Amino acid sequence: MKARDVRAIKAQYIRLMDALHRLCMIIAGFCLVAITLMIPWGVFTRYVLNSASSWPEPMAVLLMVWFSFLAAAICYRENLHIGVAVIPMMLEGKAKLVIGWAIELCMMGTNLFMFWWGIKLVQATWHQTISDFTWYSVGVSYLPIPIGGLITALFVIERLWVSNLFEQPSDDAISQISTE
């Protein structure tokens, strides 16, 4: 395979990860908006109508699980995740590269663990139902675990391939609002 072909495949993979990142943002955003609308509806029906709706709180919890795993993948790709960079900042050259690869390989291991054992959890609970939603499988509620693990693992591959270890978050990813 020629270097030009490798660059083309790499560029295509990055575009695919951009699209996946965008899809995660859309779904996570939808979850957040839906939660924001559901909870006040539950409060309204409970305190104003004196007839509480039973579905807003459990549905909000299910959407929060989806939001959390997708937002975690987004934060990883945008370098907004929690990371202690004291040791890498003290290192240079090959030592910094080695520690970067070690960290990313640990990240890959964690996400492959989530993917593999998340699938097992989904399979084990697929035929159980949630008491609040008898039509909704418990296995479906656990789907964000393997999906989030797989998406983040794909982002780890991208980071290793592009070699942007210890990159700072971009300015447009960080709010410019002062906290003072």
Annotated domain spans of the chain: 3-173
Q: Write 105-113 long-range contacts (CB < 8 A, 24+).
A: 107/76, 107/152, 107/156, 108/153, 108/156, 108/157, 110/149, 111/149, 111/150, 111/152, 111/153, 111/156, 112/149, 112/153, 113/149
State residue 180's pLDDT score: 57
Residue with tokens 């070699």: 163
DSSP state of 168: P
State residue 176's pLDDT score: 56
pTM attached to this predicted model: 0.85
In 3D space, the residue among 176, 177, 167 whose CA is nearest the CA of residue 83 turns out to be: 167
On whether the CB atoms of residues 121 and 46 are closer than 8 A, the answer is no
The residue type found at 112 is L
- What is the mean pLDDT, run by run of 10 residues, along the chain of 180 residues? 88 96 96 95 92 89 96 92 76 86 93 98 94 88 97 96 76 59
On whether the CB atoms of residues 14 and 6 are closer than 8 A, the answer is no
> Within its chain, how far is the Cα of 16 from the centroid?
16
C-alpha distances (whole Å) from 169 to each of 14, 21, 32, 176 are 17, 15, 23, 12
